Structure 1
Amino acid sequence: MIRNRLENKKILITGASSGIGERLAWHIANNDGIPIMLARSMDKLKQQQQLLKQKSRTESFIYQVDLQNGGELDAVINNILLDHKRIHGLINNAGVGKFDFVKDITWQDVDQMYQLNVFAVIQITKRMLGHFSHYQEGHIVNIASQAAKIATPKSAVYASTKHAILGFTNALRQELTDEKISVTGVNLGPVRTNFFVQADPEGTYQKSVERYMLDPDRVAKTIVRHLFTTKREINLPYWMELGGKIYQLFPSFVERALKSQFNKK
């Protein structure tokens, strides 16, 4: 069933050189889709492309880009649209975080999070919308975070970027109700990737949530299973999504009850 939906479908993946993005490429390839991988590290992309060719014999494409550079991103999207007659899907996976109190965080970190987590997502989505609309087919997947639903101390800026993406995703879905373009939001708890190298360099938060961390392969497999469907949201882990719903109803109670857990960063 998944193979039927993905066969020969070309899907853009940002942040494809490691973590969830890397596993997305593998699962797309294993289901006869064609991953188009974007990242800053050309060496990692080439290595991934070679491994995909050896193990799955699937065609794939790679493009080097710094998503924080709007001009560079525009140029790469232009090249992709020239190189490929048809693109079928877009997964906005790339993201960065830095856990720190608002009074202590540097403006460089704030700027980086907004450039990569928000502006690049909106820019690439806007560029691809005309293409999807022309062919009356497309699927946009935006990877947000459970932090978009429950913000905690030291994640004020990071959570605000994910709030922005969740709002953007929900509004975009409504704008496209008359077109054959699906829009899916993905809200994740902590995932075992190199995201925490920058977000939590001392490893304090990682240690406190180690037993709850999601496996990036499982996350990618779940996302790929819902490609080219009308799935509205993917929320992992499920118990954290339940906690988010309770938080919406009783925010003060949850903040008091989970104060020690929320302050483990």
Structure 2
Amino acid sequence: MELKGKIVVVTGASGGIGALSAQMAAERGAIPVLVARSEDKLKAIAGSLPGEYGMYRCDVGSSAEVEETFARIFGVYGRVDVLLNNAGFGRFALTPETGIDEYEMMMNVNYMGTVRCTKAVLPKMLEQGAGRIINVASMAGKIATAKSTAYSASKHAVLGFTNALRQELRGSGVTVSAVNPGPIDTEFFDIADPDGTYVKNLGGMIMKPSYVAKKIVGVMESGREEVDLPRWAAWAIRAYGMVPRLADRLTYKSMSRK
């Protein structure tokens, strides 16, 4: 898909990889439509975009707001060519220290937010016989680690939804992709790791957001079904999948960096 002139909706577009993906898509001639909860942050991001853009304040954790927002988007543009489901958050803590409300919030935003936005665009995409749905999941959705029970569970759900939907839509002209990044140097860790312990322990393993955003825009263009980031992690995931229980026993200490 050539992005020039395409309507690209990005949720969680007020910062990090969402904002950078929107900017990179705009540089390729796309019309990015920014969606996020913070109107002030959206305005700041939109000011740096070249060419035409759209901007909508919306909480993907609310069905009513998602329905209203996408109705407005379709009212203005008539279609959505690419949906990047990027909105999400995490908090790392041991299970006894994680409240039920936090499990519910992460599942509601990370997973149900993806479902809500996907269902909002899918009928029109099927009608036009074309479209791309890209869900930002996580390496945590494939390899869960200590102190991430709530976050990992929500991202496992995103991957399950993505994989099943891909099978449903084969031959329809609508592609479904998952991007599974490891740790990225963004504001995500302001909530997930407020004291900075995890980021410090990661050292040079943390990725630059520009690197991840570039890969995401590549998926917009190619329709590639799945991308694991960083590249070496794809091999680690395959090895883990072959002997998961042995891998758990051998690596749980080295993987517990939170």
Kindly state the Cα deviation for residue 256 of structure 1 after the two structures are TM-superposed: 2.3
Secondary structure in structure 2 of the residue aligned to 1:5: coil
Take 1:223 and 1:73, find their aligned partners in 2: how far apart are those partners?
A: 23
Identity, % of aligned positions: 37
Which letter maps to 2:111?
Answer: V
1:15-94 residue pairs with structure 2 within 5 A? 15-52=12-49, 56=50, 58-94=51-87
Take 1:29 and 1:78, find their aligned partners in 2: how far apart are those partners?
A: 22
Kindly state the Cα deviation for residue 72 of structure 1 after the two structures are TM-superposed: 1.4
Gapped regions of structure 1 (runs ≥ 5) = none
Q: Is the 8 A contact 2:60 2:116 kept in 1?
A: no
Kindly state the Cα deviation for residue 212 of structure 1 after the two structures are TM-superposed: 0.5
Q: Is the 8 A contact 1:91 1:140 kept in 2?
A: yes
Residue of structure 1 equivalent to 2:5: 8
1:125-204 residue pairs with structure 2 within 5 A? 125-204=118-197
Gapped regions of structure 2 (runs ≥ 5) = none
Residue of structure 2 equivalent to 1:111: 104
| Deviation readout 1:100-156 (Å, 9 max, x if unpaired) | 122220122112101110111101101110010111110000000011111011111
TM-score, normalised by the number of residues in structure 2: 0.97
Take 2:211 and 2:163, find their aligned partners in 1: how far apart are those partners?
A: 24
Secondary structure in structure 2 of the residue aligned to 1:103: helix
Take 1:249 and 1:258, find their aligned partners in 2: how far apart are those partners?
A: 14
Would you say 1:258 and 2:246 are equivalent positions? no
Secondary structure in structure 1 of the residue aligned to 2:179: strand
Q: Is the 8 A contact 1:17 1:38 kept in 2?
A: yes
Which letter maps to 2:238?
Answer: K
Kindly state the Cα deviation for residue 160 of structure 1 after the two structures are TM-superposed: 0.7
Would you say 1:214 and 2:207 are equivalent positions? yes
Take 1:39 and 1:62, find their aligned partners in 2: how far apart are those partners?
A: 9
How many correspondences in the alignment?
Answer: 258
Secondary structure in structure 1 of the residue aligned to 2:134: strand
Secondary structure in structure 2 of the residue aligned to 1:142: strand
> Where does structure 1 differ by over 4 angstroms across 4 or more consecutive aligned residues?
none
Which letter maps to 2:222?
Answer: T
TM-score, normalised by the number of residues in structure 1: 0.94
| Deviation readout 1:198-254 (Å, 9 max, x if unpaired) | 111121111111311111111111111221433110110122221111111122322
Which letter maps to 1:112?
Answer: M
| Deviation readout 1:56-77 (Å, 9 max, x if unpaired) | 3x11110001111221121111
Take 2:103 and 2:114, find their aligned partners in 1: how far apart are those partners?
A: 16
Which letter maps to 1:44?
Answer: K
Q: Is the 8 A contact 1:9 1:34 kept in 2?
A: yes
RMSD: 1.2
Secondary structure in structure 1 of the residue aligned to 2:96: coil
